[in-house]
Structure formats: structure tokens, C-alpha cells
Amino acid sequence: MTKPEIGYFETFQEVGRAVLSVLSVREVTHLIAKRIVSALHLKASALLLVNEGSGRMEVAASHLLSRDFLTREPGASDEGMAEIRKGRSFLFRTSAGEDTDYGGFLRDEGIGSILSVPMILGNEVIGGLRLYTEDEREYSDDALELISALAEIGAIAMDNARLFEAKGARLSELLEKGGVDFDYEPQLKKYRVRAVSHGEISPEKSFFYFHRLHRLAAMIALITDVDEILKTTTREVAEVMNVKGCSLLWLNFATQELELLATYGLSREYLSKGPLQMDRSIPQVLEGEVVVIPEAQKDSRIQYPEAAEQEGIASILSVPIFVREKVRGVLRLYAVEARFDPPEDIEFVKALAEISGIAILNGKLHDAMRNDYAFWQSTMQYLGVADPNDADSP
């Protein structure tokens, strides 16, 4: 597969935003298996996870494979399964085993090649992706890097989901012991599988953007502390876009102001210029628009043009952050010269804002679960009910 055939940035954005938005292991695994097929033009896919009890690889999710095939797949005899366990990728061509029972089994399923890619968390192989094609496909180094990045993000997303589910189960167990009926079930959002668009961004820039988006997504997906997520995001976005500064702003509907969550590269004097009113500071963004301000020192949409002049800010890009399809925040970039003209750059910043919104929401959910558990733990202890997970509990 040659490099121009894949929209690297578009594919990573589409699959990444889906799996990072879900806090259920089952939903994450099925989303990965389903989305990667359409994104990479595959015949089918399977996601296998290591059973912590038996140590065996088991199919956790699949897409477009027959039931008969799946009953045999975990015991597949090709080298790919062995290489996954070693943390290595492997491409198996059906023609290489055409005289074997396994080769005939693959031909009956209409499979020409299988790419096996490990899913690694830290230094541990937790599973693998199996990508099936009708033809005997070749993968470029760039394509393999994209697939490995998707496997990495998938592993992180599953780990986050496991952590979240474990906290919910622990809270449920605590409340059940105290006589409180509480069935924890995470709220899931169904995602439509959309075809990945090609041609809007040049192949060269698409691969460049994919690299940067992968770096940011991998970093913030590993963090559950909201403040650390915010600081990391503003720093990384400013450095990737090579701009003077970056701010993350949250909509405070009680005060009708844009609340500063985190910032990077801006002076204390500029940040203390005064409150940002939602109806005066580039209000079009709150309607979901991406707004480019080419002359920040003269534009009427800027609430404090004099402060922008003193800070040396020439242009501003303001991008809405959507959380569950509603604008809840703003990602704002500041440059010392006229910038943000290429539509490709704007599309990239929109993707950064989207990943930022997902990370903020996930961090807040983790915080809420921690706080809920701490509250009920204290309450139960006050009532004389021991924590069932406390090592000192009877």
C-alpha cells in the first residue's frame, strides 16, 4: 500500500476520537475492530486480548468475520500469533501456507493476507490486532506506523476503561454492603462509522499532522489529572503550531464569562487584563464557528485590543471545544504575525481541540468517580460499615 492511499491524519483522528471517548472496555474493543476496517480498506479485523487468568489470547471483538472462522482464530497456526506475544508485528500471506490445512481455511474465508500487530501497554503485551485483506497486501513503513499508533491508543483507551469500570464496580460493592442499591453502568454513546475523507489534506501534511496528533493524544490519554491534562495540552499545541501562546477557556454560564483553565506562553500582565465576557470575546465561537482574527489589535471582536498590542499579538485563532456535541470551551492560539491562513492548519487545530475536549471530559469523569467513592467511603465508615476492599476489613 502506497502512502497517498491513506489519509493518515484523518484516519487517526476518526478512530482515535471514537475510542478515547468511550469508558467501556466492550465498546472500545468493538469500535476499534469496526473503525479500522473502513479506515484502512480491509476485508475484516479482529481484536484479541490476553486472558489474565489463563494467559491465552482470546477474541474480544471482530468485524466482518464468520462465526466458524472466529472459533478457530485464537489457535491460529500462522507466525503472527507468536510474534504478537513477542511484541512484534508480522505479515502472513495466505500463499505461503497454501498447501496446509490453515492455508485452505483462510482461502475459504476469502483472506489473502493477515497483518498481526501487538497492543502494548507499558512493557506488557495485552493483546493484538489482526487485519485481514482479500489481496496479498504490502504495507509501507508509514502505514505500519499508523496502525501501530492506533493499536497504542486502543491499548491506552482500554486501560482507562478498565480503570473506570473497576472504580464503578468498587463503588457499587461498597454501597451494596451498606444496603444501598446501586448498579454501576457507564453511560455509553453510540458512534456511527463514517468513511474517512481523503483529498482535503495533502499526503505530506496528513502524515505530519498524524505524527503531532498521535503525540498529543498518547500523552493526554495517559493522564487522568485534569490540571495536568490542561497544562500539557496548551504547551504541546503552542509548540506544534509554533505560535506565541495558547489558552484553554471554559464556558462559565453562571458568570457569562470565559474561565481560563490553562495557558502557555502568555505574560502575567496580559492574562490579568480583565474578565473575558462570553458575548464580547469572539462570541461567534460559542455558536460552533472557527474564527480567525488576522488583525487582533484592530478587530472589534477582540475585547481587549490594547492588551493584544502590548503583548505583541498580531493574530488569533479561536476554535470551539465540543463536549457531547455542545460547545463547552474554547481553544485559542496567539501569534506574533499574520497566521492561520491555510485551511489545512485550521483542520488540524480543530482536531487538537476535539482531542482536548475528550481528555478534559475523561479527566472530569475520573475525578467525579474518585470523589464519589471518597464521599461514600467516609459516609459508610461513619455508619460503621467497613470498606469491602480495605485490607483491614473483616
Residue 262, in any domain of the structure: yes
At 205, the pLDDT band (50, 70, 90 cuts) reads: confident
Asked if residue 321 belongs to a domain, the reply is: yes
What are 89-115's pLDDT values in tens digits? 999 998 887 777 888 888 889 999 999
| Residues of the domain holding 297 | 244-338
Mean pLDDT score of the chain, rounded to an integer? 82
Q: What is the pLDDT of residues 207-253, one digit of tens each?
A: 888 988 888 877 776 776 778 888 988 998 999 899 999 999 989 99
What is the pLDDT at residue 186?
Answer: 46
Q: Is position 265 within any domain?
A: yes
pLDDT band at 262 (very low <50, low <70, confident <90, very high): very high
Environment class of residue 261 by beta-carbon count within 10 Å: exposed (0-12), middle (13-18) or buried (19+)? buried
Given a cut of 80, whether residue 361 has pLDDT beyond it is no
Q: In 29-108, where do the E strands start and end?
A: 44-50, 57-63, 90-93
Segment 319-343, tens digit of pLDDT = 998 876 789 899 999 999 988 777 8
Q: For a pLDDT cut of 90, what percent of the chain falls above it?
A: 40
Residue 346 has pLDDT above 90, yes or no: no
Share of the chain above pLDDT 70, in %: 78
CB-based contacts of 75: which residues, under 8 Å, 6+ apart? Answer: none
Judge whether 126 lies within some domain. Answer: no
**pLDDT tens-digit profile of 143-200?**
999 999 899 888 877 877 777 777 666 655 655 665 554 444 444 444 343 334 444 6
Look at residue 254 and tell me if it is in a domain.
yes
How confident is the model over 279-323, as pLDDT tens digits? 999 999 999 999 999 999 999 999 999 999 999 999 999 999 887
Determine the pLDDT at residue 390. Answer: 55
pLDDT at 125: 94
Q: Domains in the chain: how many in total?
A: 1
Q: Which has the minimum average pLDDT: 9-13, 98-102, 208-212, 377-381?
A: 377-381
Note whether residue 316 is domain-resident.
Answer: yes
CB 22 within 8 A of CB 35: no
Indicate which CATH number applies to the domain containing 290. Answer: 3.30.450.40
Comparing 61 with 365, the larger pLDDT belongs to 61
What mean pLDDT comes out for the span 373-392? 57
Q: Which amino acid is at 192?
A: R
Between CA 278 and CA 251 the distance in angstroms is 8
Q: Is residue 295 part of a domain?
A: yes
pLDDT category, 364, cuts 50, 70, 90? low
Three cell numbers written together for 201: 489534506
The one-letter amino acid at 386: A
151, 15 Cβ separation under 8 angstroms: no
The predicted structure's pLDDT at residue 342: 75
299 in a structural domain: yes
pLDDT at residue 204 in the model: 79
Task: State the burial class of residue 3 (Cβ atoms within 10 Å of its Cβ: 0-12, 13-18, 19+).
Answer: middle
- pLDDT score at 393: 41
Q: Distance between CA 88 and CA 80 in Å, rounded?
A: 9
* Pairwise CA distance, residues 229 & 12, whole Å: 20
